[in-house]
Amino acid sequence: MEMNDPKRKEERREAEPDQGDGGPSSPKTERPGRDSILKRMKRVDPKQSERYKQRTGQ
Amino acid sequence: MIEDLPPLMGIETEYGIIRENAEDSDPVEESMALLKASDALSVFGAWSYRFENSHQDLRGFRVRSLAQDEEEDEFCEQDRERPYSYHDMKCDRTLSNGARFYNDHTHPEYSTPECNDLFQLVAHDIAGEHIVARAAELRNKALGGPHVQLFKNNTDYVGHSYGTHDNYMVARDVPFESIVSALVSFLVTRQLYAGSGKVGYEGRNESFSGLQLAQRSDFIESILSIETMTQRPIINTRDESHAGKEFRRLHLILGDANMSAYATALKVGATRLALGLVAAGEAPVLELEDPVADVKKISRDLTGRASLRLKSGKTITALEVQEAFCEAAQRCYAGKSEELNWVVSEWARTLSELKHAPEKLADRIDWAIKADLFQGFMEEESLDWDDPWLKSLDLEYHNLDPERGLYRGLEQEGRVLSLFKESEISEAVDNPPQGTRAWIRGNMVRYYTNDIQSIHWTGMKLKDDSVIDLTELTDPDAVEQWMNSNKEQWIWK
């Protein structure tokens, strides 16, 4: 499995034409789903972590 | 130089588990039910513990027992009253992709197959998330609702930690003292990109309010130790190679579970190169005066500029330690292969961005993703870091449920960097990594499931009492040779 295969780079270039530094490209920055992730965060029960009890592992 | 790199690597991840519709979620029962619900093609209950040797120390001695705290002692006492055997509770599954999926200390654990390629390994780590989530889906179907939730994290925020261990096969002729003297400063500072972020603090450390770089740093209490459940070390000294005598397995337990595939790749890729530098005598030797205290100090400073005192009396920042290793790796490994190019260039880029524009890390480094996400939410809701809601959001970031997990939500919105196509992950869910002994293990599981009597990383025993010994198959040539020699006997298609 190769990260830098030309096919993959080609796909990235098509999706994100503004990235040109050769590394993995950042997703678009305008954050189209900002409201959606905020809604998901608002649905999180504020007390959830207090009920989350685990046993020690390694 | 390439010959100095660890030839095989693997990642073990213990998952957090909770049943939300039960007043007291019982991790033993829930973890067993989860493993039993899994429909992954596998051999069940045949793991051979005869080859496990967790009491042998790399420093040349054997310990009589491993320690755990009083609370865990009590739990273990209660477990002995349960109507289950040790093997019942383990629920071992060896999968057709060469991985192991079982219960370790009441946590469902996915151990990737051993891989010789970085991206092969990261794909298998993500495949583990899919296999665990699929088991949860089936379990919840039986329960009639999404009651059982799984978390790829390392803490419950009240002092219980469970591990994500990265493992490297290292030549035994590299002196262990050389590994320690060079690697400790690298390991305590790699959390700059490998930390998955944690709200608040745990343990006996000085109190802290805010976001730390890493989940595990509060739990690191020694430089070297064979222990894994208490007195956790920067370098674990368990001497259990799962290979021939010429190798040791460096079993690192100080790391976090990363949701970001990029962070996993950078963590394992950089560590592999650091080990190659040590083996080649090219690693910077930056011995810290108090590395255990530094782990926590670094974790509580998101800038990487925490000042660390060296044994020489000079000071250095966490970023400078990583820059020294990265520069050495660039000198030795740039241009050697596409994989090595990726690691050295992304490593340098990450350190540069942390220094000059840390906001750019918010799509690929877990702690930076959390910082961006949580700060926006805090502004929206007028919260501060001490609000319990922040810890709940932190926990939910790691939830594997595609309907609930915050990282899953970011993935769905295309806000975090994805390294793989879905088809590549599906391939890793079903198939073992080519060119490794795991390829043989996985295909034996797939095509000869009912013939296997017992199985282990190093081989298997069949029901006719014949033995397949994979101990020495540590490089692709040896694997190919074995396959050519045995192609008449085992048909894998």
For chain A, how many structural domains are there in total? Answer: 1
Residue A33 has pLDDT above 90, yes or no: no
Owner of token pair 């745990």: B202
pLDDT tens readout for residues B398-414: 999 999 999 999 999 99
B71 touches A56 (CB < 8 A): yes
For position B55, what pLDDT does the model report? 96
Q: For residue B452, is it within any domain?
A: no
Instruction: Give contacts of A33 with chain B, Cβ < 8 Å.
Output: 409, 412-415
- Residue B332 CB burial class (10 angstroms; 0-12, 13-18, ≥19): buried
- Residue B78: inside a domain: yes
Task: Name the average pLDDT for chain A.
Answer: 67
Tell me the chain B residues in contact with residue A54 when contact means C-beta distances shorter than 8 Å.
16-18, 27, 107, 155-156, 160, 162
CB of A7 within 8 Å of any CB in chain B? no
Is B57 in the active site? no
- Measure in Å the smallest separation between the Cα of A17 and chain B Cα atoms: 15
Q: How confident is the model at residue A1 (pLDDT cuts 50, 70, 90)?
A: low
* A48 within domain boundaries: yes
- Would A14 be classed as within a structural domain? no
Residue B458 lies in a domain: no
Chain B residues with beta carbon closer than 8 angstroms to that of A43: 404
Report in angstroms the alpha-carbon separations of B229 from B175, B220, B278, B332.
Answer: 26, 10, 28, 37
Q: Is residue A19 part of a domain?
A: no
Interface probe with B: pick from A1, A28, A30, A34, most Cβ of B within 10 Å: A1
Higher pLDDT, residue A13 or B331: B331
Task: Give the number of other Cβ atoms within 10 Å of residue B153's Cβ.
Answer: 32
Q: Distance between CA atoms of B182 and B245, rounded to whole angstroms?
A: 23
B393, B394, B412, best to mutate vs chain A, most A CBs in 10 Å:
B393
Q: Which residues form the domain of B369? A: 8-427
Split into its structural domains, chain B has a count of 1
Residue B473, domain member (yes or no): no
- pLDDT band per the 50, 70, 90 thresholds, residue A3: very low
Domain limits for position A49: 33-57
Residue among B11, B13, B20, B14 at smallest CA distance from B404: B20
φ, ψ for residue B103, nearest 5 deg: -105, 125
Which among B104, B117, B372, B387 is annotated as catalytic?
B104
Per-residue pLDDT of chain B (493 residues; tens, 9 = 90+): 889 999 999 999 999 999 999 988 999 999 999 999 999 999 999 999 998 889 999 999 999 999 999 999 999 999 999 999 999 999 999 999 999 999 999 999 999 999 999 999 999 999 999 999 999 999 999 999 999 999 999 999 999 999 999 999 999 999 999 999 999 999 999 999 999 999 999 987 789 999 999 999 999 999 999 999 999 999 999 999 999 999 999 999 999 999 999 999 999 999 999 999 999 999 999 999 999 999 999 999 999 999 999 999 999 999 999 999 999 999 999 999 999 999 999 999 999 999 999 999 999 999 999 999 999 999 999 999 999 999 999 999 999 999 999 999 999 999 999 999 999 999 999 999 999 999 999 999 999 999 999 999 999 999 999 999 999 999 999 999 999 999 999 988 7
Residues of A in contact with B78 (CB under 8 A): none
- B437 within domain boundaries: no
How would residue A34 be classed by pLDDT, with cut points 50, 70 and 90? low
Does residue B384 sit within a domain?
yes
Question: How far apart are alpha carbons B303 and B309 in whole angstroms?
Answer: 17
Asked if the structure places residue A20 within a domain, the reply is: no
b/e per residue A44-57 (b: at least 16 CB within 10 A):
bebebbeebebbbb
CATH number at residue B290: 3.30.590
ipTM of the complex: 0.93
- What pLDDT score was predicted for residue B483? 94
- Is B489 a member of any domain? no
- Alpha carbon of B439: minimum distance to chain A alpha carbons (Å): 15
CB contact under 8 Å between A4 and B104, yes or no, is no
Cβ distance of B416 and A27 shorter than 8 Å: yes
Whether this model's pTM surpasses 0.90: yes
For residue B114, what are its two tokens?
Answer: 């051993």
Q: Determine whether the interchain pair A3/B415 forms a contact, defined as Cβ–Cβ distance below 8 Å.
A: no
A41 inside domain = yes
The per-residue pLDDT for B190 is 98
